[in-house]
């Protein structure tokens, strides 16, 4: 293993992101989900019932891509589609009970990932790490590229375009 004292923080953060993404992708494969599908389930869990268009806007994908993603999630029983009570042209999307259970499984995956990351650290070290990471995030958000933006806007601005295999 290389000498770690000379590794830049930027490289360390990149490596941590790469390793954690790999672990997360493996766990998503076990749940037979793709990252975009997990994002849809999490969004519905937080927002409740949304129109297909609203959901596409929140996720940051085109309505046709959302149609494909929802078809797969509906086939697996994770989401339910219902016509809007006022406007039959609008389809409302919500989580099914199976979808809610899947979100709980995803939360467990996130908790397990945190346990892996925090392995060998004391409670104080965990709190310190979180505080330092929050401070780093704040510094980046205060930079000229993101000044005055909230995290959701930054995520939207910097999100890589979704490919056809992400959903």
Give per-residue pLDDT as tens, 24-34: 999 999 999 99
> pLDDT of 133-142, one tens digit each?
999 999 999 9
The phi and psi torsions of 136 (rounded to 5 degrees) equal -65, -45
> pLDDT of 75-114, one tens digit each?
999 999 999 888 888 899 999 999 999 999 999 999 999 9
CA distance 43 to 80: 14
The full set of domain ranges for the chain reads 14-119, 121-157
Question: What is the CATH topology of the domain spanning 14-119?
Answer: Arc Repressor Mutant, subunit A (1.10.10)
Name the one residue in this structure whose structure tokens are 């099914």.
96
Q: According to DSSP H, which parts of 32-122 are helical? A: 35-47, 52-59, 63-75, 97-118
Max CA-CA distance within the chain? 64
CA distance 33 to 24: 11
- When pLDDT is averaged across residues 15-40 and rounded to a whole number, the result is 93
How many helical (H) and strand (E) elements, i.e. helices and strands, does the chain have?
Answer: 7, 3
CA distance 52 to 134: 33
Residue 43 in this model has a pLDDT that exceeds 70:
yes
Q: Give percent of the chain with pLDDT exceeding 70.
A: 93
CA distance 68 to 56: 11
Contact 140, 146 (CB under 8 A): yes
């Amino acid at each position: 293993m290389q000498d770690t004292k000379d590794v830049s923080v930027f490289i360390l953060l990149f490596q941590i992101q790469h390793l954690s993404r790999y672990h997360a992708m493996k766990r998503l494969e076990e749940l037979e989900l793709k990252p975009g599908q997990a994002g849809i389930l999490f969004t519905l869990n937080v927002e409740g019932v949304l129109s297909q268009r609203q959901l596409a806007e929140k996720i940051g994908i085109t309505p046709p891509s959302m149609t494909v993603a929802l078809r797969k999630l509906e086939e697996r029983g994770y989401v339910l589609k219902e016509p809007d009570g006022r406007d039959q042209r609008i389809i409302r999307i919500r989580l099914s009970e199976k979808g809610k259970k899947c979100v709980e499984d995803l939360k467990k995956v996130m908790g397990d990932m945190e346990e892996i990351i925090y392995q060998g650290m004391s409670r104080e070290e965990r709190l310190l790490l979180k505080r330092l990471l929050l401070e780093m995030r704040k510094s980046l958000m205060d930079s000229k590229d993101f000044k005055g933006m909230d995290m959701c806007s930054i995520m939207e601005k910097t999100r890589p375009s979704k490919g056809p295999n992400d959903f």
